[in-house]
Amino acid sequence: MASHCDFLVLGSGIAGLLSAHKLSSLGTVTIVTKKEAVESNTNYAQGGIAAVTGPCDNFESHIEDTLNAGAGLCDERIVRLAVEEGPQRVKELRELGVNFSLKSRGNEALDLGLEAGHSQRRILHAGDITGREIERALVESCRRNPRIRIVENHSAVNLILDEEGRARGAYAMDRRSGLIKAFGASAVILATGGAGKVYIYTSNPDIATGDGMAMAYRAGATLANMEFVQFHPTCLFHPKAKSFLLSEALRGEGGRLRLKSGRAFMKDYNPRSELAPRDIVARAIDAELKKSGDECVYLDMTHKSAQYLKSRFPNIYRKLSGLGIDMAAEPIPVVPAAHFFCGGARVDEFGQTDIPGLFAVGEVSHTGLHGANRLASNSLLEGCVFAHRVWRHFKDDGKFRLPRHSPAAWNPGKAVALDEAVVITQNWDEIRRLMWNYVGIVRSDKRLERALRRMRLLNAEIEQYYWDFILTPDLIELRNIAEVATIVILSAMARKESRGLHYNLDYPRPLKSARRPTLMRKRDALKSLAV
């Protein structure tokens, strides 16, 4: 028997929790999340949220910075909408109990940070654990709300569509028992985050396997601009550290990138040096590593005192100290890592996909805000703004409750228990390494063609496993990363230029004729995948 609610929210980052909080004023909400409610990309966001709150800042400056970073592919109407709604959304977060850092005790002025690509200090932060602080406040609010039910440790498998093609829920697996349940709803909100685990080096947590993107794609939704994957320039390079990000704010406070020899190199690549947009900094590091053969470069914060670093970056300082690195006395080893997808399920200004009843908020979506490269700290802004706009859509519509839809129980068919899980591990590792080597920071036609040939075989093998064997959480995630990886490859092959985060050695310059989004639908991609 399927459970039923008015709104089914898949995911528990800022986009999912804030959507649930707002939608609960209109009806019942079920949040389904694959681990604990606080485990999300939001929880790992160190830098902060970009919004115009300072006395010297203004909307036009934030809009211009966003458009410049987006390299000609931002939707200016959406940029303006997001920037102008930002201050009100920040006000709401503070009312919900988010404690942003202030300049000093007794001083109510916000301590605004500067990050790459921004012309003003406009980054609201909570020390260097902004995401964790936002998650804390939103989880507490949702847990107190009697109209919100949180279902943890469940992996969404597929969307449920009714006879008219409308999204009416989702199947999800209890990761502990393996039981697959049907969750029915009048509307579904995807807030599943990104797909950083498609790459072998990533700042994302293990849950970031592109589940929402893959489910939307399989259901027939249009995905846009999936070739634009942002590689954060500075992820800690250390054998005992997994996916630990070193915030952009470190460079905003004067951090310098240096080679093993100690030479600072960013001025060779861009006049803004370390404060150039992320795509430029990541490509510069990649180029230097390829030239030197070194495994990492170094982020130097030794110009700041230990007292300052402990105060401004307490989480980073504590983490590094635990690994034997004194950031006040020695440079920090860093490498670029997959960080953020600028593409996703294409939505309108109210977060609606082209599947009726299916909405997408946050990194899983493509709103047009980021274009070909995301401006630092605009991601949390986007999550807040579009959670509010989804709520506005239903509030203004007033007719969101539909007759209960009774989806069929999950049918495993003739599937049998998986006999060799090693095949899943092998394919998982191969896809992630293939994507890093062939579809990473710098691409070429030859690399992309090699990647696609291999993915054709892997997709066929994985799909056979999906039908032949009883599902496991690992098999669900493998299927999703394979699907997302293939979409990224096909999208990259379709863009015959270099722009923003997409750099192809065979087409090193941007083209005016290519200033349009790359759209990918399953029916079109199947033609390209035919062997």
Catalytic residues: 278
| CA distances to 33, 41, 48, 208 from 44, in Å | 16, 5, 10, 12
Cβ atoms 372, 73 nearer than 8 A = yes
Separation of alpha carbons 42 and 36, rounded Å: 13
Using DSSP's 3-state secondary structure scheme, residue 349 falls into coil
Answer whether 287's CB lies under 8 Å from 268's CB. Answer: no
Identity of the amino acid at 104 = S
278: enclosing H helix or E strand: helix 278-292
Residue 229, both tokens: 């994957």
Cβ contact 198:431 at 8 Å: yes
The three-state secondary structure class of 51 is coil
For 150, phi then psi, to 5°, come to -110, 120
To 10 degrees, what angle do helices 422-438 and 473-494 make? 20
**Quick count: other Cβ atoms within 10 Å of Cβ 391?**
23
Which tokens belong to 125?
């932060």
Give the whole-angstrom CA distance, residue 322 versus residue 348: 45
Helix, strand or coil, per DSSP, at residue 472: coil
Residue 146 tokens read as 């009697």
> On the CB side of 161, how many CA atoms lie within 13 Å of its CA?
15
SS3 for 112-134 is CECCCCCCCCCEECCCCCHHHHH
Q: Six-digit token pair at 408?
A: 């069929």
Which residues lie below 8 Å from residue 463, measured CB to CB, with a gap of 6+? 479
Residue 181's DSSP bridge partners are 172
